[in-house]
Amino acid sequence: MIDSHVREDTSRYSYYMDLDYYKELAKKINAWTAEGTKADTPTVIEVEQFLYREARLLDEAKMEEWLQLFTKDCLYWTPVTPGGGDPSKEVTISFDDRRRLEDRIYRLRTGYAWSQVPASRTIRVISNVEVWKENEENLYRARCNFLLPELRAGRMKLLSGWYGYLLTKEKDDWKIQVKQNNLLDSDQAHENLTLLL
């Protein structure tokens, strides 16, 4: 039997990612293309401001601050299958729990992540923000489009697609429970994606 305090340490263990987690995730991601109960205008404005801040933190490489926007039992997911697919059976570009996100940020912070020497310069543009209230208390679903120009080693590249979010509030602060990065060309050949989308 695993002690509950060990299970709760998501910086070291991923016990929250079990079969039930995958089943719940499958239900929730199928809702990205469905209309739902629209959030009220003040909530939509709050969520928009939150998403703009997330984009800015990534562009400014404030990775520790960016990580604080996520819940302890979060998921950062970039599927290969357009719109999501089934991560329990399909390959993904990234499928990072809290522990893996912390590892990635630590590696970037060392300055020895060769794939980010020199570091990318980015400027994210997000638009078409839609926000829906989920059935669960304090859980919202958001979706927005993105354009992501990246300059690295003298070469410019453009990534585009849409983000899907499951958001909740913890002590009046918005937190990301799930971020799904849906690249327009997700099922095409890619160089190593070395930056966080």
Domains of the chain, CATH where assigned? 4-183 (3.10.450.50)
pLDDT given for residue 162 in this prediction:
96
By CB atoms closer than 10 A (0-12, 13-18, 19+), residue 131 is buried
pLDDT given for residue 134 in this prediction:
86
Phi, psi of 15 (to 5 degrees): -65, -20
- pLDDT band per the 50, 70, 90 thresholds, residue 8: low
Rounded percentage of the chain residues whose pLDDT exceeds 70: 92
Question: Rounded to an integer, what distance in angstroms lies between the CA atom of residue 109 and that of residue 166?
Answer: 27
- Residue 12, pLDDT above cutoff 70: no
181-190 pLDDT tens trace: 999 998 888 7
- Residue 166, pLDDT above cutoff 90: yes
- Mapping DSSP onto H, E and C, the string for 33-63 reads HCCCEECCHHHHHHHHHHHHHHHHHHHCCCH
At 155 the three-state DSSP class reads strand
Q: What is the mean pLDDT of the chain?
A: 86
Question: Rounded to an integer, what distance in angstroms lies between the CA atom of residue 159 and that of residue 148?
Answer: 5
Distances from the Cα of 104 to the Cα of 74, 122, 181, angstroms: 14, 18, 17
Question: Rounded to an integer, what distance in angstroms lies between the CA atom of residue 187 and that of residue 175?
Answer: 29
Amino acid at 87: P
- pLDDT band per the 50, 70, 90 thresholds, residue 119: confident
Average pLDDT over residues 137-153: 93
Distances from the Cα of 79 to the Cα of 113, 164, 169, 194, angstroms: 23, 11, 25, 15
Gyration radius (Cα) of the chain, Å: 17
pLDDT given for residue 1 in this prediction:
42
pLDDT given for residue 14 in this prediction:
64
